[in-house]
Amino acid sequence: MKFRPIGRHLLALLLIVGLSGCGSIEPWVKPYERDKLADPIMALDSDAVSTSYIQHVYEAREGARGGEGAAGGGCGCN
Amino acid sequence: MKIRRLPLLALLLVTSSSVLAGVLPEDRADVLYHLYDGGGVAIDGPSILVRKKVGKSLSVVGNYYVDMVSSASIDVITTASPYTEERKQWSLGVDYLHANTTMRVNYTSSEESDYDAETIAFSVSQDMFGDLTTLTLGYALGDDLVRRSDDASFERQLDRQIYSIGLTQILTKNLISTLNFETVTDEGFLNNPYRSVRYFDAGSALGYSYEPELYPNTRTSNALGLRARYFLPYRAAIEGEYRFFIDTWDIEGHTASLTYIHPWRDFTFTGKFRYHNQTGAHFYRDIFSRSEATNFRGRDKELSPLTSYTFKLKASYEFLNDDGNDWGFIKKASVTASIDMLHVDYDDFSDLTAAAPLGSEPLYQLDADIFQVFFSFWY
């Protein structure tokens, strides 16, 4: 299985999205309907200092890494 | 040698506020104490994270983190001697907001007696579709230097690049989701210079001997993660998460978790169950047929087939809020405590401390408790 750096593809995707006139799409959840989403219990990463630490532990204890949107540093100790 | 994946932390610090690309993160300081205790290893220390706006368009963030390690793990006691060590890490980052775009840069440095690491990370986030959608692109470059404490002439390089793309989407009035894809490429010295593999050796009293492990010089991994959080009718939240992982070492992983968040008065309680299962690296063996049996060889239990389970309990108490206080510039403050109970079943990693005859050793299991206590201040 071959993998290639995807940086150029990401840049192209950003440009396409940016040039596609995305501002014309009507938001289906209005700003005044987002009170529940603004509740602190809905924050996807409410405690960055804690999230980074626990990801750090998992990356040291398991072979997988990344893809969680909030990956931590690594402790690869024995 | 303790740190390997430092760039991921730097990437966290440049992507963690991606949900609010059009708004700078809150001014906040966290002082955390962490303790990992399990499998003969104890690691503890502080982590201090401070973030402050400068003007209307800039936010500066700094982090100082320490690991104090006392290790008598199964790897260490079967082939080496228990040790203590300390790792110090600091990072500095800047967020710049312009209209609906947030650009971030972060530098991280980590030092210990036999391993140095530097990382620089960049990301850009764009809010779209009436702020329902946030797209984040990230890139990080890591430069590590691996040494040996018992050989002053030993020095190896490790370079790493991380590419990430994240999409956060408000789906309904009660539901928010995020999709993240991340590619990590490593090139250089990837194995632990101290760790050994074992192989059958009829001339040894044990029936086996040890030799140094030898890893490939490159590794590329891809991870795709999906999370969704739903606001329940009675003011509580539930979150589901799934991640698929695959790499060029033939490790394939599936991670899933379910989280429940329940506020009550000034408290917030969280319960979480996490499951992870992975296959082993193609060069991993619990025991090799002979010395130098394969081109690459490793016996790192983290690269072996395993299943892990974690149950988390967390409680947070907001002891100061905006309802009038005399704490000067501090607007809100909370204290949080959590415990993560981790259990790992290894499918192909023998427990050599059991002193069983060769071939009948029991499989190793790990139990660890992870404690965190932290104070948070908003100002």
Report d(CA B344, CA B301) in Å as an integer.
Answer: 10
Whether B276 contacts B253, CB under 8 Å: yes
The pTM assigned to this predicted structure is: 0.89
At B24, the pLDDT band (50, 70, 90 cuts) reads very high
pLDDT at residue B76 in the model? 80
- Residues of B9-34 as b/e, b for ≥16 C-beta within 10 angstroms? bbbbbbbbbbbbbbebbebbbbbbeb
Q: Is B294 helix (H, G, I), strand (E, B) or coil?
A: coil
Whether A76 and B1 lie within 8 Å, measured CB to CB: yes
Whether the per-residue pLDDT at B261 is higher than 70: the answer is yes
Whether A47 and B342 lie within 8 Å, measured CB to CB: no
Weakest mean pLDDT among B137-141, B324-328, B349-353? B324-328
pLDDT, greater one: B85 or A10: B85
Whether the per-residue pLDDT at B9 is higher than 70: the answer is no
Whether the per-residue pLDDT at A77 is higher than 70: the answer is no
> Would you list the DSSP string of B24-91?
PPPPEEEEEEEEEEETTEEEEEEEEEEEEEETTTEEEEEEEEEEEEEE--HHHHHHS--EEEEEEEEE
Tens-digit pLDDT profile for residues A38-64: 999 999 989 999 999 999 999 999 999
Q: With CA atoms as reference, report the closest residue to B151 among B114, B183, B179.
A: B114
Tens-digit pLDDT profile for residues B288-314: 999 999 999 999 999 999 999 999 999
Cα first-last separation, chain B: 38
pLDDT at residue A28 in the model? 87
**Backbone dihedral angles phi then psi of residue B138, each to the nearest 5 degrees:** -135, 150
DSSP 8-state code for residue A26: P
Residues of A in contact with B9 (CB under 8 A): 52, 56, 71-74
Selected residues 19-78 of chain A with any CB under 8 Å from a CB in chain B: 22-23, 25-29, 31, 33-34, 36-37, 39-45, 47-78
Whether the per-residue pLDDT at B17 is higher than 60: the answer is no
Q: Which domains does chain B have, with CATH numbers?
A: 110-378 (2.40.160)
Q: With CA atoms as reference, report the closest residue to B128 among A35, A18, A78, A7.
A: A18
Give the residue extent of every domain in chain A.
28-78
At A78, the pLDDT band (50, 70, 90 cuts) reads very low
How much is the mean pLDDT over chain B? 92
pLDDT, greater one: A31 or B177: B177
Tens-digit pLDDT profile for residues A5-26: 555 666 666 565 555 544 467 7
pLDDT at residue A13 in the model? 61
How much is the mean pLDDT over chain A? 73
